A and B are shown apart, each in its own frame.
Chain A
Amino acid sequence: MDFPVFSEALSAVLQIAAAFVGTVAFSVLFSVPPRHYVSCGITGGVGWAVYLAVVHFFSSPIVGSFLASAVLTVLSRYLAVYCKAPTTVFLLCGIFTLVPGAGIYYTAYHVYAGESAQALLSGMDTIKTAVAIGLGIGAAYSIPSRVFGWRKSPEVWTEET
């Protein structure tokens, strides 16, 4: 591999594919109906692609988590209208790529290895990532639902008998 750009692109594609497979695997764990497996996988793949892009160009994992979760939430809301399913189905599975599992592990590692300063740093990083994910979801939920073609309220059948 003499072309760093090429090998980097290859690794990005492989990572996005892994995010897709991982998200589909998680949607099996949460018993998502099989017809939504692909949509869930796409949500996870897109989320990780955004994260990779931001980390590559701005080298900030926190901003990456924020933007990725915002894009991912917008996508799940769109898919919810398109596939006529609750937003939760896509959001819960897709968000798993961003959950700070690595942060939890490193915090535990440093605590048990007796490196308190390191442990505090990883712990803070974990909490920051969690807050960034939360704010991303919040930002995406501030978009009015009309944008996604959602009616204001469903017609409820209440004619007088």
Chain B
Amino acid sequence: MREAVRQSIAECSQMERFNLITRLGNDILVNGGEIFRANEAMQYAAAVFRLEGFNAFVIANGIFSTAVIDGRIYSTRICYVPLAPTVLCRVDELNHLARRIAAGRCGPFEMRSELERIEKMDVSGSRMKVLASGLGSGSFCYLFGGSFFDMGAAFLAGLVLYLFLIYVAPWISVSRIMRNILASAVVGLTCCLLLAAGIGDSLDRVMIGAVFPLAPGIPLTNSVRNFLENDYLSGLIRLADAFLTAGCIAIGVGTALQLWAVATGTAIGGVV
């Protein structure tokens, strides 16, 4: 086993090994893995693949890495890693792959085919996501004191939210900020409509449940963990993300309430 790995390392050029290692780090980061894990995985893989003088600097949206090629030239790679949706099944698989490489059970060529497989791995289907968003909204509405009718309304609004995010949002805008504002405004208007149609009892509770799939839980958690790892730069990037998302939800929902109030001639928060 190790003999085969050793031979495959010898056959693979240094540049190619370097590329593969940065690609591993890039994949971990883009799918929502921890920063220190991306860094560690790259360091271990470089040690196993006999890459001299490998050094990496990883932050929330970029990787800077250098290695010595042929014993004399410094080679550098800079990867820009956009803030992308989290895909945890890929993080899980990449974790397994990194562990296998560190143990010397996976050579560069196998690593390349594994990376290609993981990059194409299926995420949850669109319909599943829509359904999950509805279920999540319904359950969270109950947690925050909603009645069973409220749960039903939040379920419907949650469905509308992901239908909008998956099928409509890609057509309209590319900016995350505008997308979040629009999505929460759509949810807010849907909730008002549902309440006016007689589904649900309390507008507040339905609304709280329905915006939960947008709530910035992931950037908040990641940001805190970055601060705890003394990585203040990444922590700030993600904290900004969390606060902007929260602000966008507030603006979107508020605008929807205001529009509804103007359209029906009632006070804000009034239903009919």
Contacts and interface: CB of A to CB of B under 8 A. Distances in A.
Interface in B97-154: 99, 102-104, 123-124, 128-129, 131-136, 138-140, 142-144
B235 to A, nearest CB: 10
Interface string A83-120: 01111110111011101111011111101110000000
B268 A112 contact: yes
Interface of chain B: mostly helix, strand, loop or mixed: helix
Interface stretch (B12-20, B64-72, B253-261): B253-261
**Chain A at the B interface: SS class:** helix
B33 A86 contact: yes
Contact of B88 (A31, A100, A155): A31
Given A86-B91, A157-B2, A157-B48, A26 B33 contact: no
Using C-beta atoms within 8 Å of the partner chain, give the interface range for chain B.
35 or more
Chain A interface size, as a band, is 35 or more
Contacts of A38: none
A127 B59 CA distance: 25
Contact of A88 (B34, B123, B213, B257): B34
Given A28-B132, A109-B269, A138 B254 contact: no
Closest 5 CB pairs of A and B: A157-B104, A22-B139, A108-B250, A25-B136, A28-B132
Interface of A: 14-15, 18-19, 21-22, 24-33, 36, 48, 84-89, 91-93, 95-97, 99-102, 104-109, 111-113, 126, 130, 133-134, 137-138, 141, 154-158, 161
Interface of B: 2, 6, 10, 32-34, 37, 44, 47-48, 50, 85-92, 95-96, 99, 102-104, 123-124, 128-129, 131-136, 138-140, 142-144, 162, 204, 207-208, 211-213, 215-218, 220-222, 224-225, 227-228, 242, 246, 249-251, 253-255, 257-258, 267-269
